[in-house]
A and B are shown apart, each in its own frame.
Chain A
Amino acid sequence: MKNKNVSRRTFLKALGLGGAGVLLPGTVQAARQGEELATLLDLSRCIGCGECVYACRESNEYKFPRPEKPFPPMFPKRVKVADWSERRDVDDRLTPYNWLFIQSAEVEHGGNVHEVNIPRRCMHCQNPPCANLCPWGACSREANGIVRINDDVCLGGSKCKNVCPWDIPQRQTGVGLYRKLLPRFAGNGVMYKCDRCFQRVAEGVVPACIEVCPENVQTIGPRAAVVKKAHALAESMNGYVYGEHENGGTNTLYVSPVPFEKLDAAIQKGPGRPGLQPVPNMMEDEENLAMASVLAPVAGVAAGVLGIGAKLIRENEDEE
């Protein structure tokens, strides 16, 4: 969707002096034309101050769940409620009320000890399984690269989390459409995750986590430019890139001075705490099978034509 309201001035409006550094050339035009934008996180700059975490909360607070209690009793009993409404302050993992958190790792590499802080949120994959496999149309990928869950529609089945290589979306029970349908028997709330401040981007303002960062850790721009900059940055620090090819390509690229295998081994992982492991393209088979589906009707037409031909030959032979 094209957005004529986006100008360089509006994109920079909320940024302080030096904020222009977080915008790559072509960003304004790409945003105006609804083209794919990606973010680059320079981990060598992140000091783990948490400003991005607080800004994220403040910017997105109006989207956070307001569950109605008591929750409908679930059937069957194996279906567990997920209630974070009494633990809204948790900020050391992803929750429905915390869409961005910082992982820290102390890693030895090249004879030096590196302390690396890693802001973690949705990777905004280029071909996201969460959006492709959502059976309800609640999750979708937008042309500007944002992967977003529609909280008016989501039933909280958690399938998006199950198919996400990083288990990013988090569930809150007691909220959403399922309460109006069959609250005991289908659905279990709404799934929440980073939507890269879609409302700000639509108005031509960069996401809150980017705007507020005192160290300019993040850069936003057209994906091709971001990838180019990520490689240049990695080369300058003899570092490594994560997110360019993971899951077939994401719109969140990390550049680190230490290998991501070492970071993955050093960070605390578990529910709401994603890893930094290598991830194959989860949708690759479907991409190939879709091509097979294009050929299938051709085979069907050929079978039909050959069937007619065979029948006509038989009939001609019968007449003779």
Chain B
Amino acid sequence: MKNRTPVTRWFDRVFVVCCSVLAISGLAQMPIFKRYYIADIPGLGWLADFYFTHKTHYIFAAFLLALLAQVLVLWFFRWRTDLKLSGGGMLRVGLLAGIVFTGILRMIKNQPGMSFSPGMTMIVDWAHLGLVLLLGVTAVILAMVKRRAYATWKK
């Protein structure tokens, strides 16, 4: 238990499911699943439905925002005195913050009456995609070197 952050197992699982669905529905925004026959696999046709995957992305983004808000409250009012962020934790928190920020900008841009310049639109989209790829690579590397914990207990 000492090596784990004090979140419940259900929280862990919901977070993993949330991030996985967001990663898949996010990648599905690129027209690759149909091109590479993945959407032809029975049961995966929805991966080529851009509207469906876009709405799915929005729904799970809302779940992620709720989870992160809950963790922030717990961190600042309860855990901060006993826990400190690990190096890998800090890196991933920074990447997550960037992903959330660019995602929120994208949601704002997609509202009626909102306009970003072509340059700004491109920066937001590329940053969102780039940060997600960086987070994925970071998570895999930290898992391989067995340093997955976001935070460790203070001595």
Q: Which residues of A contact B (CB under 8 A)?
A: 1, 76, 78-79, 126-127, 129, 131-138, 140-143, 148, 150, 153, 157-159, 162-163, 186, 248-249, 282-283, 285-287, 289-290, 292-293, 295-301, 303-305, 307-308, 311
Which 4 pairs between the two chains have the least Cβ-Cβ distance?
A: A300-B69, A304-B73, A137-B125, A137-B122
The residue in chain B whose Cβ has the minimal distance to the Cβ of A138 is B122
Q: CB-nearest residue of chain B relative to A307?
A: B74
Q: Taking CB as reference atom, which chain A residue is nearest B35?
A: A79
B36 touches A76 (CB 8 A): yes
In the complex the two chains form, is A307's CB within 8 Å of B58's CB?
no
Whether the pair B66, A286 counts as a contact (CB closer than 8 A) is: no
Assess whether B117 is interfacial by the CB under 8 Å rule: yes
Residue contact A300 to B66, C-beta cutoff 8 Å: yes
Pick the interface stretch among B81-89, B91-99, B108-116, B133-141.
B108-116
Contacts of A157 in B (CB 8 A): 30-31
When C-beta atoms are compared, the residue in chain A nearest to B76 turns out to be A304
**B101 in contact (CB, < 8 A):** no
Q: Does B21 contact A (CB under 8 A)?
A: no
Interchain nearest-CB distance for A28 vs B (Å): 20
Instruction: Look across to chain A and name the residue whose beta carbon is closest to the beta carbon of B65.
Output: A296
- Docked Cα-Cα span, A220 to B134, in Å, equals 46
CA of A76 to CA of B40 in the docked complex: distance in angstroms?
14
Name, among A135, A157, A295, A296, the residue most crowded by chain B CB atoms within 10 Å (CB to CB): A135
What residues of chain A lie closer than 8 Å to B121, measured between beta carbons? 131, 137, 140
Question: Is there an interface contact between A133 and B73, defined as CB atoms closer than 8 Å?
Answer: no
Provide the residues of chain B in CB contact with A79, threshold 8 Å.
35
B26-59, CB under 8 A of A: which get 1 and which 0?
0001111001110000000000001100110011
**Cα distance, A52 to B139, chains bound together (Å):** 55
Instruction: Tell me the complex Cα distance, A301–B69, Å.
Output: 5
Are the CB atoms of B54 and A133 closer together than 8 Å?
Answer: yes
| A292 to B124 alpha-carbon distance, docked (Å) | 21
Q: How far is the CB of A295 from chain B (nearest CB, A)?
A: 8
Question: Which of B30, B74, B110, B116 is within 8 Å of A286, CB to CB?
Answer: B110
A–B Cβ pairs within 8 angstroms, 5 of them: A76-B36, A140-B122, A248-B112, A293-B65, A297-B66
> Given B70, B107, B117, B129, which contacts A304 in the complex, CB threshold below 8 Å?
B70
Q: Report the Cα distance A133→B117, complex, angstroms.
A: 16
Q: Cβ of B113 and Cβ of A126 under 8 Å apart?
A: yes
Beyond A135-B29, A292-B59, A300-B70, 11 additional contacts (C-beta under 8 Å) are A127-B112, A133-B54, A135-B30, A286-B54, A287-B110, A297-B65, A297-B66, A297-B69, A300-B66, A304-B77, A305-B73
Interface: B61 (CB within 8 A)? yes
Q: Give complex CA distance A158, B30 in Å.
A: 10
Contact of B123 among A1, A137, A186, A283 (CB under 8 A): A137
CB distance from A291 to the nearest CB of B (A): 9
Across the two chains, which residue of chain A brings its CB closest to B40? A78
Contact B58 A290 (CB under 8 A): yes
> Are B111 and A290 within 8 A (Cβ)?
yes
Of the candidates A282, A296, A300, the one whose C-beta lies within 8 Å of that of B51 is A282
Shortest distance from the beta carbon of A145 to any chain B beta carbon, whole Å: 9
| Contact status A127-B31, CB under 8 Å | no
User: Contacts of A297 on B, CB cut-off 8 Å?
Assistant: 65-66, 68-69
Q: How far is the CB of A153 from chain B (nearest CB, A)?
A: 6
Closest to B53 in A: A133
Pair B32/A137 contact, Cβ less than 8 Å: no
B71 at the interface (CB under 8 A from A): yes
A76, A137, A249 pick with most chain B CB within 10 angstroms: A137
Bound together, the chains give a CA A311 to CA B59 distance in angstroms of: 29
Q: Are A186 and B59 neighbours in the complex by a CB distance under 8 Å?
A: no
Please tell me if B63 contacts chain A, counting CB pairs below 8 Å.
Answer: yes
Q: Of all chain B residues, which has the CB nearest A299?
A: B66
Q: Which residue of A lies closest to B78 (CB)?
A: A308
B96 to chain A, nearest CB (A): 14
- Shortest Cβ gap from A292 to chain B (Å): 5
